[in-house]
Amino acid sequence: MRLLLEYKDIPPDLHGGVIVLGNFDGVHRGHQSVIGRGQEIADGLGVPLVVVTFEPHPRSHFRPHDPPFRLTPLANKARQIEALGVDALVVLTFDDALSRIEAVDFVRDVLVAGLAARHVVVGMDFRFGRQRGGDAALLEAEGAANRFAVTTIAAVASADAEIYSSSHIRENIMAGKPAQAAAMLGRPFEIEGVVEHGEKRGRELGFPTANIDIGGYVHPALGVYAVRASIGGAPEWLDGVAYFGDRPTVDGKGLLLEVNLFDFDGDLYGQTMRVALIEYLRGDHKFDSLEALKAQIAEDDVTARRILRVRAAGAP
């Protein structure tokens, strides 16, 4: 998949393709349905499939002081979109200038002049242009005038009629329900970050941890999780247990994700780690002593190993 950061100089071999528009934070099952329909149309026409998205997320631009909320920052989002067989991802910088473009001008400048779109696919709730003035109806009108077709995809729901949406996924993650979030994402929710030096308290307690600043990711419920982690882009996933919180027992300062990989002995500092939250084990609270904390960590270790063994045994 090619990653392009400008729509004005799109390579000619990507002109005349199927364009899928959206923010796609999470690339969840609803988003996968929209992109998948684009893939079907592109295959039928024998043309490229191009996804157009926006970074930073428009919400970050208009509400910069909101709490962290991202499900998939750009690197993660691009990886998930590439897995769907997309030929190119065009990332438009969402800034003051882009936010002020009228919807009609966006269509004519980006979709027509920039990409020479043959077919455009969007989700039914997608809005674009100044003050969210563009929608599927406007796209259809502009498509008729500029000779491109438009397909609008209805919202996709689970078997129990819950709509797949980024908002619902965030709610589940913040409520300590990673399994429910995974069901909507189509995969476990994961956090990616660089392993940093910490205070090494985990090592002192007999459970060395890799410390990760989760940055702009939505904050999961405070507490302990059974996790799987990948190091440095390796395809192997290692079992472990993770804690997210501010370490009240040791008077910690600031939220941190601490990951203990089972039976792992190696230097992780400076490496990128992807941490998938599999199951929520318990909430966070302050222990009366370090010995009590150590005993609980040992119990968490046993519980997480058991859960992950069962999950692995049940895998197809």
Q: Which of 204, 258, 279, 299 is catalytic?
A: 258
Radius of gyration of the chain (CA): 22
Mapping DSSP onto H, E and C, the string for 18-71 reads EEEECCCCCCCHHHHHHHHHHHHHHHHHCCCEEEEEEECCHHHHHCCCCCCCEC
DSSP conformation class of 156:
-
CATH number, domain 185-313: 2.40.30.30
- pLDDT by residue for the chain (316 residues), tens only, comes to 999 998 998 999 999 999 999 999 999 999 999 999 999 999 999 999 999 999 999 999 899 999 999 999 999 999 999 999 999 999 999 999 999 999 999 999 999 999 999 999 999 999 999 999 999 999 999 999 999 999 999 988 877 768 999 999 999 999 999 999 999 999 999 999 999 876 655 555 556 789 998 989 999 999 999 999 999 988 899 999 999 998 765 556 678 899 999 988 888 889 999 999 999 999 988 887 888 888 999 999 999 999 999 988 765 4
pLDDT (0 to 100) of residue 68: 93
Distance CA 156, CA 186 (A): 13
Q: What is residue 315's predicted lDDT score, i.e. its pLDDT?
A: 56
Domain ranges in the chain are 2-153, 185-313
Q: Compute CA distances 176 → 20, 179, 218, 229, 278, whole Å.
A: 32, 9, 12, 18, 11
0.95 exceeded by pTM = no
Taking each helix axis from N to C terminus, what angle separates 166-174 and 178-185, rounded to the nearest 10 degrees?
Answer: 160
- Cβ–Cβ under 8 Å, residues 227 and 267: no
258 is catalytic: yes
- Which CATH superfamily does the domain covering 2-153 fall into? HUPs (3.40.50.620)
The enclosing H or E element of 214 equals none
